[in-house]
């Protein structure tokens, strides 16, 4: 009888442990279900906020993903750990681009700046040439860009002593502040009978300064270029900011391109 009673107590004890474990697991599962719903809702709200606050010149669908374990806990702490924005087919003032932005320490209070913003913008050759045309002065020589491996090729024409001269140049791209700079490293002029070396007249072809493509008017103030890398398929521009506010005023106040 004593053994039977002991076995009964053990079974009851094991049952209590199983029930308690299942209850805890159920509560955890319920939390994650609720948290998943909160994550979906938060991502939808962020997406809508972005759509409402983007400049009128920007079109395209932006998807939002909020990282971290618990969105509820992040919300209660006052900021989201990591928010990723992806727009594979964005158009900014008629310039097509693929954009991905990762922001960390994104505050719930829109009056506070985002802790850190890192972005990647991919432009194809056509989009890069659109930027170039909008940046050239009215009296500047016509030019066209062709993407290469780590370099950019120019092809165009200019007038020298009243004669049209075709030219080709190779430039190395860099990113400085709000602009892409294409510093020529070699050039030649082309004629109907072939090509001749143009090292001595390089300044006449591409100018004393690097060709400058300003992108400030496409970016909110406080966002700057961090780098540029080119391949034959695309020009990849990296962006950064540590002072961006997620308000309509901030997102629609774009930079200005100064002369030079």
Q: Is residue 96 part of a domain?
A: no
- Cβ burial of 70 (10 Å; 0-12, 13-18, 19+) is middle
- The contacts of residue 35 (CB under 8 Å, 6+ apart) are 70, 71, 72
pLDDT tens by residue, 83-142: 888 888 888 877 888 889 898 898 888 788 888 989 898 989 888 888 877 776 655 556
Q: What is the pTM of this model?
A: 0.73
| Of 163 and 195, more confident | 163
Q: Is residue 73 part of a domain?
A: no
Q: How confident is the model at residue 182 (pLDDT cuts 50, 70, 90)?
A: confident
- DSSP result, 113-162: --SEEEEEEEE-HHHHHHHHHHHS-TTSPEEEEEE-SS-EEEEEEEEETT
- pLDDT at position 200, please? 57
Q: Is residue 87 part of a domain?
A: no
Q: Is residue 12 part of a domain?
A: no
Looking at the structure of the chain, the number of domains it has is 1
User: Tokens for 100?
Assistant: 């991905």
Cα gap 127→125, rounded to integer Å = 6
- pLDDT at position 232, please? 92
Reported as half-sphere exposure (CB side, CA atoms, 13 A), residue 50 has a value of 20
Range(s) of the domain holding residue 181:
110-259
pLDDT of 18 > 60? The answer is no
How confident is the model over 210-215, as a mean pLDDT? 80
pLDDT tens by residue, 96-111: 888 898 988 988 887 8
Q: Is residue 236 part of a domain?
A: yes
Q: How confident is the model at residue 249 (pLDDT cuts 50, 70, 90)?
A: confident
CA–chain centroid gap for 260, Å, is 25
The proportion of the chain whose per-residue pLDDT surpasses 90, expressed as a percent, equals: 8
């Amino acid at each position: 009888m004593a053994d039977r009673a002991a076995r009964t107590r053990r079974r009851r004890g094991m049952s209590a442990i199983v029930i308690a474990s299942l209850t805890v697991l159920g509560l955890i599962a319920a939390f994650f279900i609720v948290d998943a719903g909160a994550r979906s809702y938060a991502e939808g709200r962020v997406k809508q906020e972005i759509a409402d606050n983007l400049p009128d010149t920007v079109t395209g669908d932006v998807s939002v993903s909020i990282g971290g374990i618990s969105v509820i806990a992040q919300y209660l702490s006052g900021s989201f750990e990591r928010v990723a924005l992806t727009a594979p087919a964005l158009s900014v003032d008629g310039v097509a681009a693929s954009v991905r932005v990762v922001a960390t320490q994104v505050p719930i209070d829109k009056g506070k700046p985002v802790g850190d913003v890192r972005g990647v913008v991919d432009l194809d050759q056509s989009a890069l040439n659109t930027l170039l045309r909008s940046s050239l002065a009215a009296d500047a020589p016509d030019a066209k860009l062709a993407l290469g491996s780590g370099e950019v090729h120019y092809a165009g024409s200019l007038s020298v002593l009243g004669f049209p001269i075709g030219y080709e140049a190779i430039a190395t791209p860099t990113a400085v502040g709000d602009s892409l700079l294409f510093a020529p490293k070699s050039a030649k002029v082309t004629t109907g009978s072939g090509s001749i070396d143009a090292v001595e007249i390089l300044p006449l072809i591409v100018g004393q300064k690097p060709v400058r493509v300003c992108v400030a008017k496409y970016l909110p103030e406080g966002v700057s270029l961090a780098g540029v890398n080119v391949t034959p398929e695309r020009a990849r521009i990296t962006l950064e900011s540590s002072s961006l506010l997620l308000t309509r005023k901030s997102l629609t106040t774009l930079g200005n391109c100064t002369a030079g």
